[in-house]
């Protein structure tokens, strides 16, 4: 199989096990270990930090030009007006999973692993495949700069990244580049942006946020 032809825009992870077996990256996928249990405890504590009177969960499965960040900004801007409450009583949770996982990673990973080329994400500033995270510190027009992910995190938006997606896609790229899957996965884990937490899976993160009172919104 030519990895460059894999349908990275696919909207679910159906066939994950078969694709992983073909690509030879199964060993890089997370396992249910004692270490995973410790991470789950940290994740539960993160869930317990979801507070506020109005809580929204943005399920971001695709980069979609950064619309997940746009929705987060819009909710923070309009919910206080709509409900007559301060922004401190408004909570936004963003779950980045599947093809949106590179949005959670820093510039070094984008450059080193050519994430723009792999995930077909162009840099608005150059029109070429992005070699930096084009959603983190700035956002292209007509979106407002305040929609950038870093600024949303500074406003207490809670962001989780799917460990399954990190393991799976880092494994595919490792195979493509002739590298060890575990080395690339560790590199991606280290590249997770400040303020973003690991979730055992995006599905668990979505379910967990809803269990804490967040209302689900599909965000691309």
**pLDDT of 146:** 86
**pLDDT of 140:** 67
For the chain, what percentages of helix, strand and coil (3-state, to nearest 5) are there? 50, 15, 35
Cα angle 32-34-38, degrees, rounded to a multiple of 5: 100
**pLDDT of 139:** 79
User: What is d(CA 46, CA 60) in angstroms, rounded to the nearest whole number?
Assistant: 18
Residue 114 burial (C-beta neighbours within 10 Å; 0-12, 13-18, 19+): middle
User: What is d(CA 19, CA 172) in angstroms, rounded to the nearest whole number?
Assistant: 9
Helix axes 163-177, 16-23, angle to 10 degrees: 30
Structural domains of the chain in order of their starting residue, each with its CATH number: 72-220 (3.40.1260.10)
b/e 78-106 (16+ beta carbons within 10 angstroms → b): ebbeeeeeeeeebbbbbbbbbbbbbbbbb
What tens-digit pLDDT sequence spans the chain (220 residues)? 344 444 444 444 444 554 454 445 555 566 544 444 444 568 999 999 999 999 999 999 999 999 999 999 999 999 999 999 999 999 999 999 999 999 999 999 999 999 999 999 999 989 999 999 999 998 765 556 689 999 999 999 999 999 999 999 999 999 999 999 999 999 999 999 999 999 999 999 999 999 999 999 999 7
93 SS3 class: strand
């Amino acid at each position: 199989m030519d990895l460059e032809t894999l349908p990275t825009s696919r909207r679910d992870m159906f066939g994950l096990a078969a694709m992983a077996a073909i690509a030879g990256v199964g060993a890089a996928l997370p396992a249910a270990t004692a270490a995973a249990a410790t991470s789950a405890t940290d994740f539960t504590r993160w869930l317990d930090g979801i507070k506020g009177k109005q809580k929204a969960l943005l399920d971001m499965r695709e980069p979609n030009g950064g619309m997940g960040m746009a929705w987060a900004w819009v909710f923070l801007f309009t919910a206080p007006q709509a409900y007559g409450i301060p922004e401190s009583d408004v909570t936004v949770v963003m779950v980045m999973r599947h093809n949106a996982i590179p949005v959670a990673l820093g510039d070094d990973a984008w450059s080193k692993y050519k994430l723009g080329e792999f995930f077909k994400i162009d840099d608005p500033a150059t029109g070429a495949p992005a070699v930096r995270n084009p959603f983190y510190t700035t956002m292209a027009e007509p979106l407002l700069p305040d929609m950038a992910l870093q600024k949303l995190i500074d406003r207490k938006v809670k962001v989780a990244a799917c460990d399954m997606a990190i393991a799976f896609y880092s494994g595919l790229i490792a195979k493509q580049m002739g590298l060890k899957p575990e080395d690339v996965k560790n590199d991606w884990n280290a590249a997770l942006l400040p303020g973003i937490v690991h979730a055992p899976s995006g599905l668990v993160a979505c379910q967990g946020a809803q269990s804490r009172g967040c209302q689900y919104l599909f965000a691309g």
